[in-house]
Amino acid sequence: MARRKPDQRVSTIFKLKRSQATLDFVDVDVELDTKVFISPRALSLMQTDWGDGCVSLVQNFFETVLQHIKAGNHGAAEALLRELREPNETHLGMSRGKSRGRALGEGSAHDVWGALSQSAAAKSGLVQDLEDTVLLIPGIGVDIVSDISTNIIRGPLIEYTQEQCRQLSIPLEEGVPSGPMWHAGRREWITQFVELPVTKVGKLLLVPKAIVRRTPLFNMQEYYRHYLLEHMQREELKAGSALIKIVKKQPKVYKTDLIEKYGGDKKAAIEQTVKYPQILDEYRRDVGKRPFLPLSHEDFDNVEGMPPVDWDKLLKDVTSLPTGKDDASKYEKAIEALLTALLYPDLVSPVYQSELHQGRKRIDIRYTNMAGAGFFAWLAKHYTAPHVFIECKNYGNEIANPELDQISSRFGRSRGEFGIIICRKFKNKALFQQRCRDTALDGRGYVIALDDDDLAVLVEARKVEDENTYRKLPLLQGRFDALIS
C-alpha cells in the first residue's frame, strides 16, 4: 500500500495549529495548486480599502495597455505584458500535479498582446475591464485572467502576506525578490527586495479567502446561447430570414440553425457582440445583479479534501482555558480563531493589538466588515461599521464601566462605532447590558457583550444552519436592538 504523501499546507509547514476555517487566507499546499482563482470582480465586492486599492491597480494597468493598443503603440503594450510572470508563489490555479502556474508561460505575454491588439472588441471599446476578456478575447480564459490579476496586485498581496505572517508568527526572510509589481502612478512595473515567507519550493504569497472563486462571473456559453442567440433569433425573424421555419403555424428560428450559419465558438460570440453591443450591456447588468459569493467553509473543505470544521473543538479551545491574566494571550488567540470561523465571510482580515492614535491606544482584535448579507451588512447600512472591534476579557471577576469605556474610546467616525466585549461569565448580565445601552444612548457607540454561554449558542447555530441563514445572527441582532429600543 502506497504511503500517503505528507501534508505540505502552509498551516502544517509553519506549525500554526490552525484549520482553514480559522485562517483569513487560503491554506494552500505548496506542492500542488489549489483549484481556485483570484477574481477581479471579487476584489471589487470586498468594498474595503485593501480591495479598492487592488481594483484601482487592475483598472489602471488594463486601461494603460488598451490605451497603447488603441494609439497604435504596440511595442509599449507588449512590453508591459511581457513582464507578466507565472505566479507560482500563490499556489492557486488549475494545474494538475506539481504547482507550476499553467496559465501564463513563456510566450504567453506575446499571445495576450496579439489577441488584444487584433481584437475588434478591444479596439472598439467593448472590452472595458479585465474580466470582459473571458468573453471577448480569443485564447483568454479565467486562469489567465487570474494570473494577470495576481501579477498586477502583487504589491498588495506582499503587504497582506507580511501582515498575516506577523499575526501568526510565520518567519519572514529578508531580501526576497518581489517580482514585478505594478506602479499606478508611474504606469510601469517595479521590483524590490522584500520580506516574504519561504518554503522549500520557494517564496510564498498568501491570498485572502474572500477574493478567490471556483467559477467565473462571466460565462461565454451562457452569454452566447441565452443572450446573443436569442437576440439573433429576433433579428432573423424581423428580417424575414431564410432560416425561418413554420412550426404550428408560427414562424420560428432555431438556435441550432444560427450556430450552423454563424458558428458556436468564442470567435462567433465576439463577431456578434461587435454587431450587437447592447446585448453585452444587458448581460453585464443581469450578471451584476446576481450574488457572487465567497467560497464557504464547506466549499473549501471540498476543494482541499479536508474534514468539516470542528466547531466543538474551536469552542472548547476557548472555554477550557483558565481565567486570569496568565492565559490572556491564549484566550485572545482562541477567541480570534473561533470568531474568524464563525463570522466568515462577513468579517475578514483580523488584526491583533491594532494600534490607534500612533500606538497610544490598542484594540485586542479588529476585523474589516465586508458583509454583503446578514446582520453585519445591515449594521454597515444603518450605522458606521467599516470595522468591528473586539475586546477579550479573560476575567474571573465582573467586568464593568471601565472595560466598557475602554472599548467605546476606540470608536471613531472613520474607524467604526460598533464593538463586542467577550468575557467568560457575567455575575449580572442584565446590568452590564443596561450599561451598554446607556453608552449607546449617550452617543458613545454601540457595544454588545458575549460570554462563554453566548459563544456556545453561536456555535450550535452554525452547526445546524447553512451559512446564509446563520449570517442573520439573531443573537447579535437581538442584543443590538436592545441597545436602541
What pLDDT shows up at residue 84?
A: 85
Over pLDDT 70: what percentage of the chain?
94
Q: Report pLDDT digits (tens) over 69-123.
A: 888 898 898 889 888 887 889 999 864 444 444 445 556 667 777 788 777 777 7
Kindly report whether the peptide bond that precedes residue 322 is cis, defined as omega within 30 degrees of 0. Answer: no
What pLDDT shows up at residue 3?
A: 38
* pLDDT category of residue 52 using cuts at 50, 70 and 90: very high
Residue 441 has pLDDT above 50, yes or no: yes
What pLDDT shows up at residue 96?
A: 43
What pLDDT shows up at residue 107?
A: 60
Query: What does pTM read for this prediction?
Result: 0.89
Residue 232 CA neighbour count, 13 Å, CB half: 26
List C-alpha distances in Å: 143 to 36, 40, 98, 161: 9, 12, 16, 22
CA 383 to chain centre: 23
Mean pLDDT across 242-261: 93
Helix (H), strand (E), coil (C) string for the chain: CCCCCCCCEHHHHCCCCCCHHHCCECCCECCECECCEECHHHHHHHCCHHHHHHHHHHHHHHHHHHHHHHCCCHHHHHHHHHCCCCCHHHCECCCCCECCCCCCCCCHHHHHHHHHHCCHHHHHCCCCCHHHHHHHCCCCCHHHHHHHHHHHCHHHHHHHHHHHHHHHCCCCEEEEECCCEEECCCCEEECCEEEECEECCEECCCCEHHHEECCCCCCHHHHHHHHHHHHHHHHHHHHCCCCCEEECCEEECCHHHHHHHHCCCHHHHHHHHHHCHHHHHHHHHHHHCCCCCCCCHHHHHHHHCCCCCCHHHHHHHHHCCCCCHHHHHHHHHHHHHHHHHHCCCCEEEEEEEEEECCCCEEEEEEEEECCCCHHHHHHHHHCCCCEEEEEEECCCCCCCHHHHHHHHCCCECCCECEEEEEECCCCCHHHHHHHHHHHHHCCCCEEEEECHHHHHHHHHHHHHCCHHHHCCCHHHHHHHHHHHC
List C-alpha distances in Å: 478 to 359, 372, 483: 34, 20, 9
Q: Domains in the chain, please, with CATH?
A: 10-213 (no CATH), 220-288 (no CATH), 310-484 (3.40.91.30)
Mean pLDDT across 344-360: 74
